[in-house]
Structure 1
Amino acid sequence: MSFKYYLPFLFLFHSYSFADEIKNTQPLFFEKKPEIKPDLLITPEKKNLSIGISDMDVDPSECINLSILEKDWNSLDICLTRYKKTDNYDEILYQYGLGALYYNKGNRNEAIELYQSLLYKNPDLTYPRFDLAMMLFQDQRYKEAKSEFETVKNTLTPQMQTLVNQILLTINRSEKWNTALNFNYEKTDNVNQTSDLKIITIGNATFIRSEEDLPQKAEGFGYNINLSKDTNISKNNYINISTTIDGLYYWDNKDYNEQTYRLDIGYKNKNFKRTWGITPFIEQNELGNEHYNSNYGIIFDFNTKILDKYQISTNLSHIKRKYRDETLSEIYNGYTNSQVALMIYQPKLNFILYSGLDAMQDHLKDKSESSQSTGLRFGTIHTNNFLNIRADLRYANRNFEDENFWYNEKRKDKIYETTMTVWQNKIQWKNFTPKLNYKYQNIDSNLELYTRNNSSFFLTIDKTF
């Protein structure tokens, strides 16, 4: 059985698998959008054969082709060894089978390099070039994949050209700027996030707090506008650019209006299994329409699949803070380090569970405001045709380094936080999707002045394009 005869069957086998799956590659997001994606290529289940293909009485070349079609990789390994010793040995068939074996046993770089070498020597081979393009696409090497697809497209059947056009459209979209908009209605009874304690007793002294120092009401709206782009510069290497404007506008308490301008420019390395990146950033914050403080720093993030349904996601950051007001700068200037580690479990495409640890260290000029915190969180995301739900629970301890000015005692907080978002995909207008949100925070401090709790329902409207 000749190699050229069987290649079209192998080609159709792979391409139909991709066509069935391409519509389900919409990523899921939570918090700062770590991506959780299914494999782009879903291969059919291996058939249960009574005996291995390598045990059948077939020609070694046919044994190679049948092993690939049936996804019997152990038999393929044996068949390749036998085929290499035959008189009608064909180097092209051998390398094609060996590349398939490498790829499906997880040695994807070796498979890609082998197919690239094969095509360098035999540039007119159609189906190995298509398979190479698919490998590069799945490995997120979009620049190379695009070149291979454009080279091979005109040699394929009309049906396969349609498939390639779909993939090229996906690649082209990934190269464009992405815009995300978020608007939400805000109404709060504690915009200044302070305790409702009116009388403070410290030793023999009693202090009565003014109305301005007590929780204040505010009503308005929040907004977030983000423009971002990932550019594949070579192989698995990307340059990421992101700019964000984020703010809160209260029409009845404008002293607490907030606005943040942020720019991120960083490097990412992405493949089918893991993503990591280093991103410097700078941001400026305004409060009440006046410059409040400036932050700059660097973020390292890492996400990898460890098993078929499990991923680990980590995030490390270092942030330098500088306040404009002289009094505030003497207290709050300094830097913050933070660490987050999550274990993500995705048993189904539309269902995610995650849990993890987080820590933060504030190193400020005023040691009584410097602190260290550790937290534990759990969360879930579930989507279906009826209702989508995202929920997160967090508990943390925060311990301050020095004695508090008012109490001559070190402050210790216990923090309880809950957030929940629900939305319905069918309730939208021109891809603007309303989402109902609930947020709760309780800070239980050993110093009564710092004990407080906040809870609110609010509506957000999101759009990504």
Structure 2
Amino acid sequence: MAMLPIFSGLFGGIVQAQTVTTEQAPRLGLDESKFQVAQPQLPQPTLQAPSAVSQPKSISISKEELAKYPELVLRALLPALMQNNAEGVALLLPIYQAQGKTDPMLVMWGEAILAQQQQDYARALSLYRTLFAKNPNLIPVRYQMAQVLYLNNDNEAARDQFEKLRTENVSPAFVQLIDRYLTAINRRDQWTFQGGLSYLNEANVNNAPKAGTEVNGWKAWQSEKAEGIGYNLGADKKWSLQHGFFSKVSLSGYGRYYWDNKKYNEFNARISAGLGYQTARSEVTLMPFTERRWYGGGASGSDALKRFSQNSGLRLDFSYWLAPRWQISTALEYGEQRYVTRKHLNGNNYFWSNTLLYMPSSDQYWVVGVDYSRDNARHKDNAYQRKNIRLGWGQEWMGGISTRITLNYAKRQYKAADFTGIRQKNDEYGAQFSIWHRNLHFWGITPRVTWAYTKIDSNNPFYSYDKNRLYLEVSKRF
């Protein structure tokens, strides 16, 4: 699961001779950072099981010479099929098919192995099931079919086939191999947990503009400092169903705690549960969710956390490997936002996110993403639409150093003028750089040093600001 970023809202007070109403206060609408952008998952190492049958000794002979000996072709093809030797099958099967008399089952078996090598698991399974229906006693066919089911994330069917294989009269080494697969399948359905901490030292926690800023006689609020920690927690669980389907529940929480300025403390909790479908190359989930936020209240608040808002809706996630080095991820989300006291901010919100991942090598990746969000608050001066583009680069360097750079630019436009008489339009810039050493870790946790820069250039001077943050973060998945 993607971690929720630390929220940074627009909170603060305005000092002016007249009384400032809630409608005139700085906007407190749904910030885009509440959304989880579509995050591609970097590929995880898969189980590499050794062959159940010892490998034959290699011989050297040309295709032309081999074609002159049909019996030799057949004698070489049979062990290649039984050992799931895709290279041998790719060489021998065309020669075998060119012969006048062939066994259709052997041809089908070879085509199944080649389909698996090409990651065409749907075709491979179709061929294996046809073979298995004709002869259910072929242990190598059952084993290879179980492997393809495992690779295609059809966990229940794979488990069933591996468990049946274990009851056959096979060697202890083969039983150990089967148990490795069963253990890997069971781990796919285990709870996964993740969490992180970061040290925060905010020079402008309330996103105040430049000191002395005035708009039409209104004076802007002053910046405030805060020191504390940011934290996030998450847990996910899948339950495999038949034919690649699964049910899933996700729990996540994130927040900030400032020990010297507690009125800016906050905590957000989200729970979602739904259904999904997965194959080796794709995954789709449909998850209803509900989210609650507790907040100190900002400049006019108190040190105690209070219920601030809730957001409930539906989220659709989809990811697909276009090629071995390319993956696309998409997320669609709809929510109904309700506030405890600021009723004028109530409304619905929409979010659409697309991310493309490219991995030219195992030690480098590139990410580009585009996002669109819209918040339809009751008061139009708090309603907006936002378009965002993201670029990321991750690199593992020699000497154990790793870095990650992300850049983003967004255009935000509100639907109506606010109390200053200005219809707000923002250009929003962000940059983040993280560095860590892969061999520097404590209890399995690798600390990272991160620098983040944010700049908001608005036609309303009240909402223009920029700030730098340098912080230490640690995170762990277990």
Same fold (TM over 0.5): yes
TM-score (norm 2): 0.80
- Tell me the matched-pair count: 423
Q: Secondary structure at the match of 2:128?
A: helix
Q: Distance in 2 between matches of 1:70 and 1:249?
A: 57
Q: Which residue of 1 aligns with 2:245?
A: 237
Question: How many angstroms does 1:429 deviate by?
Answer: 2.0
Q: Which residue of 2 aligns with 1:11?
A: none
- Residues 251/140 of structure 1: CA separation in 2 closer, same or farther (3 Å cut): same
Q: Secondary structure at the match of 2:137?
A: coil
Question: How many angstroms does 1:443 deviate by?
Answer: 0.3
8 Å Cα contact 2:86-2:117 kept in structure 1: no
Q: Which aligned pairs between 1:248-263 and structure 2 lie closer than 5 A?
A: 248-263=256-271
- Residue 292 in 1 paired to residue 298 in 2? no
Deviations 1:207-244 (A, max 9, x none): 334xxx32211111122121111221112111110112
Which amino acid counterpart does residue 36 of structure 1 have in structure 2? L
Q: Secondary structure at the match of 2:198?
A: strand
Q: Which residue of 2 aligns with 1:12?
A: none
Q: Distance in 1 between matches of 2:65 and 2:346?
A: 69
Which amino acid counterpart does residue 177 of structure 2 have in structure 1? L
Deviations 1:231-263 (A, max 9, x none): 211121111101122221111111111011110
8 Å Cα contact 1:53-1:63 kept in structure 2: no
Question: How many angstroms does 1:308 deviate by?
Answer: 2.8
Q: Which aligned pairs between 1:99-248 and structure 2 lie closer than 5 A?
A: 99-153=112-166, 155-202=169-216, 206-209=217-220, 213-248=221-256
Q: Which residue of 1 aligns with 2:70?
A: 58
Q: Which residue of 2 aligns with 1:270?
A: 278
Q: Distance in 2 between matches of 1:107 and 1:80?
A: 22
Q: Which aligned pairs between 1:19-38 and structure 2 lie closer than 5 A?
A: 33-37=39-43
Which of 318, 323, 333 lines up with 1:317 in the alignment?
333
Q: Which residue of 1 aligns with 2:427?
A: 414
- Residue 283 in 1 paired to residue 299 in 2? no
Question: How many angstroms does 1:98 deviate by?
Answer: 3.2
8 Å Cα contact 1:53-1:72 kept in structure 2: no
Q: Distance in 1 between matches of 2:411 and 2:351?
A: 14
8 Å Cα contact 2:39-2:329 kept in structure 1: no
Q: Distance in 1 between matches of 2:394 and 2:383?
A: 34
- Residues 38/76 of structure 1: CA separation in 2 closer, same or farther (3 Å cut): farther
- Residues 75/56 of structure 1: CA separation in 2 closer, same or farther (3 Å cut): farther
Question: How many angstroms does 1:48 deviate by?
Answer: 11
Q: Distance in 2 between matches of 1:278 and 1:297?
A: 11
Which amino acid counterpart does residue 168 of structure 1 have in structure 2? L
Q: Which residue of 2 aligns with 1:393?
A: 407
Q: Which residue of 1 aligns with 2:378?
A: 365
- Residues 314/374 of structure 1: CA separation in 2 closer, same or farther (3 Å cut): same
Q: Which residue of 2 aligns with 1:302?
A: 318
8 Å Cα contact 2:37-2:371 kept in structure 1: no
Bigger Cα displacement from structure 2, 351-360 vs 133-142: 351-360
Q: Distance in 2 between matches of 1:383 and 1:239?
A: 35
- Residues 356/464 of structure 1: CA separation in 2 closer, same or farther (3 Å cut): closer
Q: Secondary structure at the match of 2:87?
A: coil
TM-score (norm 1): 0.82
Which amino acid counterpart does residue 41 of structure 2 have in structure 1? E
Deviations 1:431-458 (A, max 9, x none): 2332222221100111111101122111
Structure 2, unpaired ranges of 5+ = 5-35, 50-58, 297-304
Q: Secondary structure at the match of 1:454?
A: strand
Q: Secondary structure at the match of 1:111?
A: helix
Which amino acid counterpart does residue 407 of structure 2 have in structure 1? L
Bigger Cα displacement from structure 2, 232-241 vs 65-74: 65-74
Q: Which residue of 2 aligns with 1:404?
A: 418
Q: Secondary structure at the match of 2:380?
A: coil
Which amino acid counterpart does residue 384 of structure 2 have in structure 1? S
8 Å Cα contact 1:184-1:458 kept in structure 2: yes
- Residues 201/373 of structure 1: CA separation in 2 closer, same or farther (3 Å cut): closer
Deviations 1:178-200 (A, max 9, x none): 11121221110122223234341
Q: Distance in 1 between matches of 2:116 and 2:382?
A: 54
Which amino acid counterpart does residue 350 of structure 1 have in structure 2? D
Structure 1, unpaired ranges of 5+ = 1-26
- Residues 392/112 of structure 1: CA separation in 2 closer, same or farther (3 Å cut): same
Where relative contact order (Cα < 8 A, 6+ residues apart) is larger, the structure is 2
Q: Secondary structure at the match of 1:235?
A: helix
Q: Distance in 1 between matches of 2:295 and 2:191?
A: 29
Question: How many angstroms does 1:415 deviate by?
Answer: 0.7
Q: Which residue of 1 aligns with 2:54?
A: none
- Residues 336/76 of structure 1: CA separation in 2 closer, same or farther (3 Å cut): farther
Identity percentage over the alignment? 23
8 Å Cα contact 1:54-1:75 kept in structure 2: no
Q: Which residue of 2 aligns with 1:19?
A: none
Q: Which residue of 1 aligns with 2:455?
A: 442
8 Å Cα contact 2:37-2:331 kept in structure 1: no
8 Å Cα contact 1:77-1:101 kept in structure 2: no
- Residues 110/368 of structure 1: CA separation in 2 closer, same or farther (3 Å cut): same
Q: Secondary structure at the match of 1:115?
A: helix
Bigger Cα displacement from structure 2, 262-271 vs 121-130: 121-130
- Residues 48/244 of structure 1: CA separation in 2 closer, same or farther (3 Å cut): farther
